[in-house]
Structure 1
Amino acid sequence: MKKDARYSCYPFMREKASTVDFEIRTDSLTAHIGMALTAVKKEEVEVVAQDLSTILPMAYHVNGSVRGKLAVTEEDLAWLSARYDFYVSYVKIEIQSFVLPQGTEAATALHVCRSEAKKSYRILHKVSDEKEVPTILFDYLGLLANVFFVMAVYMNKQAGIAEIPFVSKSYPMKKKKENK
């Protein structure tokens, strides 16, 4: 009897290799980027919406680049790096300390994307224990997490919402010396 496709949500679901975990995690990342894009469009910050529209399909390219053909290029990485620099030029002061993931709906959605990108990076590390993984995928996901962070802070700044610094009780920070 032929198996009915309606009962299969993903053809590789029963694999033991970490590759399928990576693919599921990056699928989640992509879905969260789509959700963030919707929130950004509601807040009408066009530059972030345009960038997320470019990043959205790239997340699926990252997804397929482990099992399939590498679909992330040096040009893609350079573009993402330039976008990071763009946002940092606006939020350099606000990102000097660790901040709480709060603010506008779009900013908080972007913080979730940041977290999802980090989870994807971590699963990619597990995959690399099992098979060769192109370095550019690690670079892209690490940079992507940082881009989502500066985008989130940028969204809050556009809305006039101040970042709330987080001071850890677990990891004491060195105090800056004041000039007298």
Structure 2
Amino acid sequence: MTVNLTRIYTRLGDKGETHLGDMSRVPKTHPRIVAYGTVDELNAHLGVALVTPGMPEPYVGWLRRIQNDLFDVGADTSVPHGGDRERLRVTPEQTSWLEERCDEVNATLEPLRSFVIPGGTPAAAQLHVCRTVCRRAERAAIEVGDDLNAEVVSYLNRLSDLLFILSRGANGGEEPLWQPGQNQ
């Protein structure tokens, strides 16, 4: 599948509308636009994570794969079900791959004894930012409704789990933990 972008500006969105993947016109505030726009924001934050000092080497390849998959998520989200053409859809295998990475990294971590405060190393802190944007993307995808491929929500849910686990791994066991009532 090849994508050719010959012009970046088209002026078609100058009045607050845009095309979905099926070429239907919707307001730029439409739930689908909000959902895949938030996925795009997540992808940009992952780009920052990739250049953040201290990112563990195995995570780099995984994050690059996830960035590509997020374009699949965006493509899937941008096209309502139906129509004559076969469309790119997120698959259970993509979600399963995330689960495998979760299990792989989680097996190396100490059990949690409290909630993790976002921070620690620069890499862990950026992964926490990615996690929170991913949760927002998940909520936005849910707002699309029943016409959305349910695997999109599953993928984003699992991805946020993985980003949390990776942030713990990036902290190397020295993560800041919540201490209830510490400053009372």
Other-structure match for 2:119: 102
User: Is the Cα contact below 8 Å between 2:55 and 2:123 reproduced in 1?
Assistant: no
SS in 2 for 1:43: coil
Match of residue 54, structure 2, among 33, 38, 43: 43
User: Is the Cα contact below 8 Å between 2:134 and 2:160 reproduced in 1?
Assistant: yes
Query: 2:10 is matched by which residue type in structure 1?
Result: A
SS in 2 for 1:65: helix
Match of residue 122, structure 1, among 128, 139, 146: 139
Cα distance in structure 2, aligned partners of 1:52 and 1:142: 16
Structure 1: runs of 5 or more not aligned: 170-180
Other-structure match for 1:175: none
Other-structure match for 2:159: 144
How big is each residue's C-alpha offset from its partner over 1:104-139, in whole Å with a ceiling of 9 and x where there is no partner?
1111110001001100011111111xx512221111
> Taking structure 1 as reference, are residues 44 and 122 closer, same or farther at Cα in structure 2, changes over 3 Å only?
closer
Cα distance in structure 2, aligned partners of 1:99 and 1:154: 12
Other-structure match for 1:173: none
- TM-score between both structures, scaled by the size of structure 2: 0.77
Cα distance in structure 2, aligned partners of 1:7 and 1:70: 24
> Taking structure 1 as reference, are residues 147 and 44 closer, same or farther at Cα in structure 2, changes over 3 Å only?
closer
Query: 1:116 is matched by which residue type in structure 2?
Result: V
User: Is the Cα contact below 8 Å between 2:89 and 2:149 reproduced in 1?
Assistant: no
Cα distance in structure 1, aligned partners of 2:126 and 2:12: 31
More deviation, 42-51/18-27: 42-51
Cα distance in structure 2, aligned partners of 1:97 and 1:57: 33
Other-structure match for 1:57: 68
- Deviation for aligned residue 1:7: 8.7
SS in 2 for 1:5: coil
> Taking structure 1 as reference, are residues 98 and 56 closer, same or farther at Cα in structure 2, changes over 3 Å only?
same
Query: 2:42 is matched by which residue type in structure 1?
Result: L
Cα distance in structure 2, aligned partners of 1:8 and 1:117: 26
User: Is the Cα contact below 8 Å between 2:118 and 2:128 reproduced in 1?
Assistant: yes
Question: What is the root-mean-square deviation of aligned Cα atoms in Å?
Answer: 2.3
Cα distance in structure 1, aligned partners of 2:179 and 2:59: 28
- TM-score between both structures, scaled by the size of structure 1: 0.78
In proportion to residue count, which structure has more helix? 1
Cα distance in structure 2, aligned partners of 1:44 and 1:141: 21
Cα distance in structure 2, aligned partners of 1:82 and 1:74: 12
